[in-house]
Amino acid sequence: MNLIVIGGGIVGLATAYKWQLKNPEGVVTVLEKEAGVAKHQTGRNSGVIHSGIYYKPGSLKATTCRDGYQQLVEFVEKYNVDYDLCGKLIVATEERELPQIDRIYARGIENGLEGLEIIGPDEMTDAEPFVAGIKAIKVPQTGIVDYVGMCLKLAELIVELQPESRVLPHQRVIRITQKGKVTAVKTDTDTFIADRVVACGGLEADRLAALDGLNLDVKIVPFRGDYYDLTPSGEHKVKHLIYPVPDPDLPFLGVHFTRMIKGGVECGPNAVFSFKREGYSKTSFSLRDSLNALRFSGTWNLFKKHWRYGLGEYERAFSRSKFLEALQKLIPSLEDSDITPARAGVRAQALRPDGTLVDDFVIEKGRAAIHVINAPSPAATASLAIADRIVKAL
C-alpha cells in the first residue's frame, strides 16, 4: 500500500509521518509545490504551542489541541527541536472584559488545563512588569516552538522509516483522478499513483477539493496578518507571551506579544482581507484570488457584519502609529522607537455563504482523497493529533 500527501506544511507532514509509523512497509510521497516545506502558514505563524484554553469543549479544535499539545512536547523533546513552555498572560485592561476573563478561565478548566490562575495587578506586575491590566489569566501550558524545525525533522523521519518514501518539492497538483482502486495525482511535472491520497493544502484547500469533485458550501478566504518586532530598546518589556482578552464576536485573538524561539519578540498580527492567497506584502494582488473571494457572497456578508472592525484593522495595517496604539493598550510605555516592521503571514480561513467563519477544523472525504478543508490556528499545535484522525479515516 502507498500514500500520497498533498502539502508539505505541518499537518501534511505529520499525517505522512503517522501513516508511515503504522505502515512501515508502505511508501509515502509528499508533494509540495514550493521549493521546501513549511513555506506558508506553518513557517509564517507566531510559533506558539497553544494550550487549548479558547476552544469550545468537545470540538475538534479542543480535543485535538490538548492531545496534540502532549504529543508535540514529547516529539520535540525526543528529537531536540527547540521549544520553551514559557507560559502566557491573557490580560483584561477594561472592566467590560472581566466577564470574558471568567468565561475563558471556565472553558480552560473544562478543557482539562492545569495550573490556570486568575491574578490581579500585583501578580501581573511580578510576571510582566510593564503590562497594564486589571485582571489576567496566567496560563502555564503555553509555549513557543520551532515549527519549521519540527517539519524538517518530520520529513527526515519519514525517509528514515522507509527509504523509498519521498518529500518532493516543486510539485504543484493540477489534477486528481480515481482509476479503479488507485488514484492518479498529476502535477505540472509528473504523475503519481497511490492507493490512498490526503490533501492538506492550506490556502489552496478548497481548490484541491474541487479537483476531487467536492462541492463545498464554504470557501477559503485569506486574511493577512502583519507583524512588528520589538527593537532592543523594547525587548526587555516582554518576558513571556502577552495576549489581550479576545472579543467573543470576532474570530481573531487581537494583537499580542510573542517571544520567538530564535530570539526577539514579535507583536501582532492584525487581520485584514488579502487580495492574494499567498500575498505577504500590503500591496500583493492576484486577480484570480481576488475575483474568487469577491464573487463569493460570504465575503460580502462578512464585510457587512464586521465593517467597523475591518476598517480599524486596515488602518493599523497602513499606520504604524495606530498599530502602536493597539500595542500600548497592553504595554503603555512602548514608544515608536521600540517597534520595527517585520514579516507577515496569511491565514487560510473557511467562510460560509452567510459570512460566518467556520470555527472548527473540517476534514471531508472526496471521491479519491481525504481533504483537510479548514485548519487555522491551533492546527500546528494539534497537527500530530489531527494526523491520527486522518490515518484512522484512511
pLDDT tens, residue by residue, 9-21: 999 999 999 999 9
CATH of the domain at 364: 3.50.50.60
What SS3 class is residue 218?
coil
The answer to whether residue 183 is domain-embedded is yes
Same domain flag for 314 and 240: yes
Task: Phi first, then psi: give them for residue 236, nearest 5 degrees.
Answer: -70, -10
Region 111-125: mean pLDDT is 96
Q: How many domains does the chain have?
A: 2
Helices (H), the chain: 10-22, 41-44, 60-79, 98-110, 121-127, 147-161, 205-211, 232-235, 287-294, 297-305, 307-318, 320-328, 379-393
Alpha carbons 104 and 246: distance in angstroms, whole number: 9
47: left (phi over 0), alpha (psi -120 to 50) or beta: left
How sure is the predictor about 281, in pLDDT bands with cuts at 50, 70 and 90?
very high
Same domain flag for 10 and 152: yes
Q: Is the pLDDT of residue 307 over 90?
A: no
Q: DSSP assignment of 131-186, as one string?
A: ---SEEEEESS-EEE-HHHHHHHHHHHHHHH-TT-EEESS--EEEEEEETTEEEEE
Task: Tell me which of 323 and 254 has the higher pLDDT.
Answer: 323
Same domain flag for 11 and 120: no
Per-residue pLDDT tens digits for 356-381: 999 999 999 999 999 999 999 999 99
Same domain flag for 170 and 241: no
β-partners of residue 323 are none
Per-residue pLDDT tens digits for 330-364: 999 999 999 999 999 999 999 999 999 999 999 99
The answer to whether residue 249 is domain-embedded is yes
Alpha carbons 286 and 303: distance in angstroms, whole number: 20
The answer to whether residue 364 is domain-embedded is yes
Per-residue pLDDT tens digits for 187-208: 999 999 999 999 999 999 999 9
Task: Phi first, then psi: give them for residue 193, nearest 5 degrees.
Answer: -115, 135
Cell of 320: 504604524
Same domain flag for 137 and 159: no
The answer to whether residue 341 is domain-embedded is yes
Same domain flag for 21 and 74: yes
Alpha carbons 94 and 75: distance in angstroms, whole number: 39
The answer to whether residue 233 is domain-embedded is yes
Same domain flag for 369 and 231: no
pLDDT of residue 251: 63
Per-residue pLDDT tens digits for 129-138: 999 999 999 9
- Domain residues for the domain of 96 are 81-143+222-280+308-345
Share of the chain above pLDDT 90, in %: 92
Tell me the whole-structure pTM to 2 decimals.
0.96
Same domain flag for 45 and 187: yes
Helices (H), 319-362: 320-328
Same domain flag for 276 and 337: yes
CATH of the domain at 105: 3.30.9.10
Alpha carbons 308 and 168: distance in angstroms, whole number: 44
